[in-house]
Structure 1
Amino acid sequence: MTDFTPGQRWLSESETELGLGIIKELDYRLVTVGYPAVEEERTYAINNAPLSRVIFSTGDTIRTADELELVVTEVNELNGLKVYMAHPLGQPEDIQPVPETHLGHKLRLTTALDRLLSNQLSSNRWFELRVDALNAHCQQQQSTIKGLRGPRIDLIGHQLYIADQVANRFAPRVLLADEVGLGKTIEAGLILHQQLLSGRAKRVLVVVPSPLVHQWFVEMVRRFNLHFSIFDAERLNALQPKTSIKDMLAQIIEEEKAATESEDEDNGEAPEQTWDNPFLSEQLILCSTDFLAECDIDQLAAADWDLLVVDEAHHLEWAPDAPSDDYQRVETIARQARGLLLLTATPEQLGLESHYARLRLLDPDRYPSLEAFREEQSHYQDIASLAGKLHDEASWSADLKAEAARLLPDMTISEDQREAILAELLDRSGPGRVMFRNTRHNIAGFPARHVHGIPLPLPEEYHYESDEEREGHLHPETLFHDDRWCTLDPRVNWLEQFFKQHRKEKVLVICANRHTATDLHAHCNYKLGMNVAMFHEDMDLIERDRAAAFFADDVDGAQALICSEIGSEGRNFQFAHHLVLLDLPLNPDLLEQRIGRLDRIGQTEDIQIHVPYFEGHAQEVLFRWYHEGMDAFEHTNPAGHDIYLRSRDALEPLLCGDPEYTAIDALVSETRAVADELHTLMETGRDRLLELSSFDSERAEQLKQALADCDEDSPLPFMQRVFDRYGVDQEDHSDTAVILKPGQHMRDAFPGLPEEGITMTDSRATALARDDMQFLTWEHPMVTGSLEMLLTEHRGKAAVSLLKNPKINPGTLLIEAIYTIDAVAPKYLQADRFLPTTVIRHLLDANGKNISQAISHDGLSQQCHKMDKPLSRKIVGSQKPLLDKLLKADEARAVEEARGTIDGALEKMRQEQGHELARLKALQAKNPAVRDEEIQALEAQTEALEKVLGEARCQLEAVRVIVAGGA
């Protein structure tokens, strides 16, 4: 039992932030400790009180309650209390007694040496976990693909390349214009994730069409662990300040009074209203274009956005004399936001004016007028044509070399310099500075698509007389109020036979209406006894995840997933190869979205598209219009929306009533002519220069390989040790997944762990197939939060352990010292590019010699074992002067060693920043797409980096005293 005496000073091992405690009361089983620094008390059981005695030694500096600093010269004891003989700093002759009851209360043991010498010891396992966390943190900061490894995405080269190019810019302002199906949302998410992780951006606003709000929300959460707040009118009203009538009258009186007093100065204008801005309540906000059209746009624009993202930007209509209201509202925000991402799959297909309007939003100074843009574009096509020839032709003709020399007079034009010449041409013309566009022409890896039309007779019950209600013709089953239609609809009979013929294959079924999906699911499940799942908009996210996971399960999962239209949004089912379209949407883009659930890079087989339709019916009209008119099933159709606009007058009348085949043939013929015209126009306008600047296959392969290598470095083994230490319950889910739940002994909330638990996988393949699992990477919030928690706590900073090695004499003393070199800097400076947290390890013998080269940390840890705390404290107490002397001398050596690392980081920073600054200035002289803001930001960044790197420090982060014992 520990001997306590009232008045003694003790420290709480679990709550060192309470300061120095004083024993107030005790009885045979309890001890009460007061903590004057925080004016709190704690009562502990005497037998297991988490307290350690604070005793200072000769030479230590102590602080009294009245803030006087004294140096201890002698330690005496009186009635169980320590009395220190000490003198003020610099006055050794002025010796005075200081009872420990007079010591100051604000003892802060933050350094590893402080904690060691005051016997604030952690276990051996905590020390080893802290060292591993330091090394992991160091490795992540040194990663060349930081920001790319965390998202749940396929490793697709062009997406990674664009993210790598854009996300490293200061406040990027670019147009992401990849063709339909190439993943613009993924690219935007990667850029957002990297900008937020690096600290370049903190506040983001995403504006999307209303039907895409849910899809974006799910994509950002599931793929990037970014939790956006959806703002609509209801949420905005809830955030508005609630002011009483009395307060409103008082404010009006104050405003009128202020206006009167300042009338002579401001011409009588009332002071600006000072309501709190509700858009400052969240960092990441997602809203619809409909909400944007109704909200206070000046208030929204004033919310200090680092990055604005606008999806489907081609819907923002603009004309020189009549820009749309939507366009002007986006422009209001874009002028104040530092960065801007515009997403559109049809950047130029809606005309040169529309394309100019998008670029004008990105940089109005660079694109001041439509006339100047037309002039620039007239010369640009010649450069694009030249770039294509230089890239494609193995041997360059004399005329081709002469044309290249005319544009690049300062370079030697030779096939040997092909890459350098193309790179310089791209830089000087610079389309990739503001715009990225990839098409299926320059991206490989997509599957073939095959369509199978199944004509079926129209049931008598489906005959619909109205010529006005188009819905009844396109979806005749909606005329019924229950599932009776399933027994008479030949599409259902056909689907039953199809399921039986493809029992071992996954089938995705999409229909427009939720009630159609639920009726069909009930019929197949309960009346036909088939194993099918369901997915529709009335299900919550957890239910949808379970349905998708059930469908993805190869062993016991559902054969088919029956979806309403929402099944074509935000989910990828590329493990399935059969797509059944029970009906067809009127919107060509929606049809492409449906097919896009299977038609993705990574699809391993050709896609079989099955379309059962009724003969002589609106469904046949749509099938033939899509298939024969525009070839929309078997090939992507980026011009689909324009084709619809030009043929809808002929199409829509045929969707009501009983169409004649001659009218259908005429529609198909007209649509084919329009489609051929638009496709030819798009192909002839194909921009080779833009394609070349949008994708570098060599760099893309490097990124893919680096990410594949990172996938092999799973954080799970490290995190399992963290879970054990913090009391998180773990349960195996499968070979590649684990279930985590809060344990009964968890003291505090664990980062990223909900009360209901979570399932995690460190397998990218599993994560892509199972939306209900989270993808555990070194960039996952649970991992980054755990590292931050570990490294900001004091546990593991000091430990004593027993070394069992028969080759080492018992009683041998070793000291393992772990130092870190850190540059304290704001995240957005990204100082860790040049000086990441760097770990220095020293292993000292009793003479202070560094023998770390002889044995590694891991090798040593395998031989180190737990030592009881009383014995540990006794060893530290007996060796305190030696430990203090050895560690202080060693820290001086570590600081000197760190100086070389810091100087090297400064030199690297000066070279890289100087090179990039010179490149941007030279490029700006040739290509005005390089903004002044980028150059100014780089110069300011360089100046700030010079300061923070010069102030980098080396400090002792953890120390372990090792005493050799028996084998």
Structure 2
Amino acid sequence: MTDFIPGQRWLSESETELGLGIIKELDYRLVTVEYPAVEEERTYAKNNAPLSRVTFDSGDTIRTADEMELVVTDVNELNGLKIYMAHPKDGSPEDIQPVPETNLGHTLRLTAALDRLLSNQLSSNRWFELRIDSLNAHCRQQQSAIKGLRGPRIDLIGHQLYIADQVANRFAPRVLLADEVGLGKTIEAGLILHQQLLTGRAKRVLVVVPSPLVHQWFVEMVRRFNLHFSIFDAERLNALQPETSIKDMLAQIIEEENSPNDGADEAASNLSAASGDDNPFLSEQLILCSTDFLSECDIEQLAAADWDLLVVDEAHHLEWSAQQASDDYQRVETIAKQARGLLLLTATPEQLGLESHYARLRLLDPERYPSLEAFKEEQAHYQDVAALAGRLHDESKWDEALKQEAVALLPDMDIDESNREAIQAELLDRSGPGRVMFRNTRHNIAGFPARHVHGIPLTLPDEYKYDSDEEIDGHLHPETLFHDDRWCTLDPRVTWLENFFKQHRHDKVLVICASKNTATDLHAHCNYKLGMNVAMFHEDMDLIERDRAAAFFADDFDGAQALICSEIGSEGRNFQFAHHLVLLDLPLNPDLLEQRIGRLDRIGQTDDIQIHVPYFEQHAQEVLFRWYHEGMNAFEHTNPAGHDIYLRSRDALEPLLTGDPEYTAIEALVDDTRAITTELHTLLETGRDRLLELSSFDGERAETLISDLIAADEDSPLPFMQRIFDRYGVEQEDHSDTAVILKPGPHMRDAFPSLPEEGVTMTDNRATALARDDMQFLTWEHPMVTGSLEMMLTEHRGKAAVSLLKNPKIKAGTLLIEAIYTVDAVAPKHLQADRFLPTTVIRHLLDANGKNISQAISHDGLSQQCHKMDKPLSRKIVGSQKALLEKLLKADDISASQEAESIITAAQQKMREKQAHELARLKALQAKNPAVRHAEIDALEDQTQALEKCLDEARCQLEAVRIIVAGGD
């Protein structure tokens, strides 16, 4: 049993944050320790108190309760208490004074590994090894060439990865993502956001989307990228607004009335400043809102919220003309001027009009695109260049006329087929909006399935016949007029669906209908009355319930045959394992129809898609089906012009949906729609920008990214994380061969990063993660992994340890010191200094003479022979060898610092060369193509100066130390 004496200073091994404790009371079994730094007490059992004695030796620096720093010259003892003879640290060595340990300061700085070793704050051997493994893992992630791309739950699709790789590495990117419908603009935007946030280039992001897409974006960001946006609407905004009392309002009115006119500006300025302090948009870092909300909120307040990135989806809906801009456009423009970065998403950029295209580009860079007239003149020249680029790319053999055209544009280059890639690269650099715009089409991206539509005409039941003055929704969805599920027994669509399920027992079927009530009634009818195995998915289910339904549908063995969804089923989910899509009704919005089909029509779909549309004859549903199928061929082909076709045919369409449709009127609608579709599709095709397509996708670079990501998937963090789970008390349960269930354990001290109270299922297999939305994708970039590494490396566990070495070839009593140093630069995250100086580990293994023998014995090899040593014995060894250990480690610190200098010098050289090359490239590119912004060049120059300062201040420090003593076999 340890001898405690009142007045002695002890430290809690489990709660070092309490500071230096003082023994207050004793009895036969218990000891009470007071911790003055935090004004708390703890009572422990004497025989197993987690306490260690804190003493100092000659040469140590101590701090008194009144914050004086003294250097110990001698140590005496009186009645079990230490009396330190010491002189002021910055004073005369002759000015000696006694300092009883009761007068020591109440805080103890034990952050350094050497401090913790010499004060006997020792961790177990396992904690030490886990700390070193965490350091090495942290270093590997910093040096990854695909940083920011490996974490998202996505298919490895080349054009999406290429665009993200090109854009995300820029300072405050301002680009237009204009891939054709179905090619994944949302995924590209998410990849860019994920990388910008992970690398620190961005912290605050605002995403603005049309109201129907708010939920889709929210789900996509959470499920695919682990980005948790806060949805802002009027209700949330009101809840965040500070309350103003009537008294304050009256005082403000009186003040304004009494203020002279010439002070109005100052008053307004003060009011603005005050409102800025209470800006509700500063309450969250990641905000998602609808365009409807944008049109109603205080736009000046929103713009003033210091956004690093603004993302606007469906940007082609922002109307602008040289004479007038819409209110929505002006509001987005207000924020875009304040935000550092801007991502605009649209599937129809310049194809439907130069004016519309110019409106988007001027949001990105008003200085680069100052007027519509100048833009039109530039585009006229650019089309010639784009046409030439397309021919140079497509034609394997160049005739003399083609070469002469190329010479006219590139007189300083050797125009020859063997120089094809360099010529094309030069054309891309010199021409057009290639740096501010990316557009891929299905013409240049392969891998999509064919689509086949099957219309099923059915007789309209008498119960569905009603007056023509009903709203359009009532005509398109007649079952909504019933308040219960009686309609299921009389609706021939339900009878047809029952037979269809029976005929396709072994096929997965996705059923989408507009209404939640329709989906609920249909699910209940099929499940309980017909005894079919179907799942349900609608907006009133929470995310966990939706995930379970999607997982049940995805299960090949015991899962549901069909998933019956409300309209939300067309948003944010990947059901490409299914090949049959049943549309119980049709939306009026062509973009929404494309979204529905897009749940199955995806790159990687293995079979053709069969689209089944049951509809009522001589009814609004037939009109809509024929309008889509015969008028615009929207089922079997993507329809990027769908929204504009709808706007131009709406006046003829909608009366036919509410009245008694006549055959001749339907035929006229179909013919007119077909003509409009042909016109717009011709415009789209002739507007194809071959040069832009070529600049938007580099197959070779994309293949490299895919190969790197496939290799990264093999490096699973799960084995490492399982050791972390064991150490921190997280319970693990096998779910399957590729997944594990994690839950908070009963002995878990604190909250574990990204682990909910109800637990979570994780998989480190990409294919499983893509098929199972109810599981999270565990990668080295998952918040649970990055949070665990940060938690491990910011704690003090594992910084100092003592181990017993069992090796018969080594003489018992042999002393070894394993010292782990780190070299890094303390720098703001957005500078990404780790590109040049990632945290670098230096390992030394010293013998008793201070010789470094690390080259002879590896860390892993040594760890296999190291075993646990009891703490009392560990402390005794450290105490007896304290002088030798301090001497050897201080000498070794000099040696490690010399090694670090060469590492830092190499990093500085690498940084200067890289930054100088990039700066020269941008300046040369700007001379050819004004799409390169001055802000990019200025930012690069400022970044270089900041990096120079940070790397110059980089230092080496002892991160962890292990004392190893050889024992018996």
> Once the 2 structures are TM-superposed, how far is the Cα of residue 671 of structure 1 from its aligned partner?
2.2
Task: Write the mapping of 1:401-800 to structure 2, written as runs, cut at 5 A.
Answer: 401-466=403-468, 468-800=470-802
| Matched-pair contact (CA < 8 Å) for 1:431–1:693 | no
Whether 1:11 and 2:14 are equivalent positions in the alignment is: no
Aligned equivalent of 2:181: 180
Distance 1:267 1:725 in 2: 59
Unaligned runs of 5+ in 1: none
Instruction: Say if 1:412 and 1:268 are closer, same or farther in 2 by CA, change over 3 A.
Output: same
Instruction: Say if 1:267 and 1:644 are closer, same or farther in 2 by CA, change over 3 A.
Output: closer
> Once the 2 structures are TM-superposed, how far is the Cα of residue 267 of structure 1 from its aligned partner?
9.1
Q: Tell which deviates more after alignment, 37-46 or 228-237.
A: 37-46
Distance 1:325 1:269 in 2: 24
> Once the 2 structures are TM-superposed, how far is the Cα of residue 20 of structure 1 from its aligned partner?
2.1
Distance 1:42 1:126 in 2: 25
| Matched-pair contact (CA < 8 Å) for 1:256–1:270 | no
Aligned equivalent of 1:855: 857
Instruction: Say if 1:470 and 1:270 are closer, same or farther in 2 by CA, change over 3 A.
Output: closer
Task: Write the mapping of 1:207-356 to structure 2, written as runs, cut at 5 A.
Answer: 207-252=208-253, 259-260=259-260, 263=262, 271-273=270-272, 274-275=274-275, 276-356=278-358
> Once the 2 structures are TM-superposed, how far is the Cα of residue 299 of structure 1 from its aligned partner?
1.0
Distance 1:270 1:940 in 2: 31
Instruction: Say if 1:771 and 1:265 are closer, same or farther in 2 by CA, change over 3 A.
Output: closer
| Matched-pair contact (CA < 8 Å) for 1:579–1:607 | yes
| Matched-pair contact (CA < 8 Å) for 1:113–1:959 | yes
| Matched-pair contact (CA < 8 Å) for 1:22–1:33 | yes
| Matched-pair contact (CA < 8 Å) for 1:312–1:343 | yes
Q: Deviations over 1:599-648 (max 9, x none)?
A: 01121111111122223332222222222222211111111222222333
> Once the 2 structures are TM-superposed, how far is the Cα of residue 321 of structure 1 from its aligned partner?
1.3
| Matched-pair contact (CA < 8 Å) for 2:350–2:687 | no
Aligned equivalent of 2:127: 126
Aligned equivalent of 2:39: 39
> Once the 2 structures are TM-superposed, how far is the Cα of residue 297 of structure 1 from its aligned partner?
0.9
| Matched-pair contact (CA < 8 Å) for 1:802–1:864 | yes
> Once the 2 structures are TM-superposed, how far is the Cα of residue 589 of structure 1 from its aligned partner?
1.1
Instruction: Say if 1:407 and 1:18 are closer, same or farther in 2 by CA, change over 3 A.
Output: same
Aligned equivalent of 1:357: 359
Amino acid across the alignment from 2:765: S
| Matched-pair contact (CA < 8 Å) for 1:176–1:437 | yes
Report SS of the residue matched to 1:885. Answer: helix
Aligned equivalent of 2:935: 933
Amino acid across the alignment from 1:602: G
Report SS of the residue matched to 1:433. Answer: coil
Amino acid across the alignment from 1:241: P
> Once the 2 structures are TM-superposed, how far is the Cα of residue 42 of structure 1 from its aligned partner?
2.4
Amino acid across the alignment from 1:865: H
Aligned equivalent of 1:918: 920
Distance 1:775 1:355 in 2: 38
Amino acid across the alignment from 1:357: A
Amino acid across the alignment from 2:520: T
Instruction: Say if 1:443 and 1:125 are closer, same or farther in 2 by CA, change over 3 A.
Output: same
Q: Deviations over 1:699-723 (max 9, x none)?
A: 1111111111111111111111111
Distance 1:474 1:249 in 2: 54
Task: Write the mapping of 1:187-202 to structure 2, written as runs, cut at 5 A.
Answer: 187-202=188-203
Aligned equivalent of 2:397: 395
| Matched-pair contact (CA < 8 Å) for 1:17–1:108 | no
Instruction: Say if 1:68 and 1:626 are closer, same or farther in 2 by CA, change over 3 A.
Output: closer
Equivalent pairs counted in the alignment come to 965
> Once the 2 structures are TM-superposed, how far is the Cα of residue 579 of structure 1 from its aligned partner?
0.6
Amino acid across the alignment from 2:237: L
> Once the 2 structures are TM-superposed, how far is the Cα of residue 465 of structure 1 from its aligned partner?
4.0
Residue identity over aligned pairs, in percent, reads 86
Q: Tell which deviates more after alignment, 725-734 or 685-694.
A: 725-734
Amino acid across the alignment from 2:78: L
Q: Deviations over 1:343-394 (max 9, x none)?
A: 1111123311111111111111111111111101110100101111111122
Q: Deviations over 1:101-126 (max 9, x none)?
A: 23333321111011001100000111
Distance 2:165 2:97 in 1: 66
Q: Deviations over 1:459-496 (max 9, x none)?
A: 33333342554333322322333222222222222211
Aligned equivalent of 2:388: 386
| Matched-pair contact (CA < 8 Å) for 2:432–2:929 | yes
| Matched-pair contact (CA < 8 Å) for 1:473–1:657 | no
Aligned equivalent of 1:159: 160
Instruction: Say if 1:121 and 1:402 are closer, same or farther in 2 by CA, change over 3 A.
Output: same
Amino acid across the alignment from 1:910: R
Instruction: Say if 1:316 and 1:845 are closer, same or farther in 2 by CA, change over 3 A.
Output: same
Distance 2:395 2:352 in 1: 32
Q: Deviations over 1:478-515 (max 9, x none)?
A: 23332222222222222112111211111001112222
Match of 2:816 among 814, 818, 838: 814
Aligned equivalent of 1:171: 172
Distance 2:847 2:895 in 1: 15
Unaligned runs of 5+ in 2: none
Instruction: Say if 1:182 and 1:84 are closer, same or farther in 2 by CA, change over 3 A.
Output: same
Whether 1:137 and 2:138 are equivalent positions in the alignment is: yes
Q: Deviations over 1:22-81 (max 9, x none)?
A: 212111122122223333332222122111111222332333334444333333322111
> Once the 2 structures are TM-superposed, how far is the Cα of residue 92 of structure 1 from its aligned partner?
4.2
> Once the 2 structures are TM-superposed, how far is the Cα of residue 94 of structure 1 from its aligned partner?
4.3
Distance 1:230 1:118 in 2: 50
Distance 2:247 2:469 in 1: 60
Task: Write the mapping of 1:884-963 to structure 2, written as runs, cut at 5 A.
Answer: 884-963=886-965
> Once the 2 structures are TM-superposed, how far is the Cα of residue 570 of structure 1 from its aligned partner?
1.1
> Once the 2 structures are TM-superposed, how far is the Cα of residue 444 of structure 1 from its aligned partner?
0.9
| Matched-pair contact (CA < 8 Å) for 2:464–2:479 | yes
TM-score, reference length from structure 1: 0.97
Distance 1:349 1:392 in 2: 22
Report SS of the residue matched to 2:111. Answer: coil
> Once the 2 structures are TM-superposed, how far is the Cα of residue 223 of structure 1 from its aligned partner?
1.1
Q: Deviations over 1:826-867 (max 9, x none)?
A: 001000111111111111111211111222211211111111
Instruction: Say if 1:242 and 1:479 are closer, same or farther in 2 by CA, change over 3 A.
Output: closer
Instruction: Say if 1:409 and 1:485 are closer, same or farther in 2 by CA, change over 3 A.
Output: same
| Matched-pair contact (CA < 8 Å) for 1:174–1:342 | yes
| Matched-pair contact (CA < 8 Å) for 2:352–2:680 | no
Instruction: Say if 1:340 and 1:881 are closer, same or farther in 2 by CA, change over 3 A.
Output: same
Amino acid across the alignment from 1:272: L
Distance 1:672 1:556 in 2: 45
Q: Deviations over 1:865-897 (max 9, x none)?
A: 111100100111111111111111111111101
Q: CA RMSD in A?
A: 1.8
Aligned equivalent of 1:55: 55
Whether 1:834 and 2:833 are equivalent positions in the alignment is: no
Q: Deviations over 1:897-926 (max 9, x none)?
A: 111111111111001100010111111111
TM-score, reference length from structure 2: 0.97
Report SS of the residue matched to 2:510. Answer: strand
Distance 2:935 2:191 in 1: 23
Amino acid across the alignment from 1:72: V
| Matched-pair contact (CA < 8 Å) for 2:731–2:745 | yes
> Once the 2 structures are TM-superposed, how far is the Cα of residue 271 of structure 1 from its aligned partner?
4.2
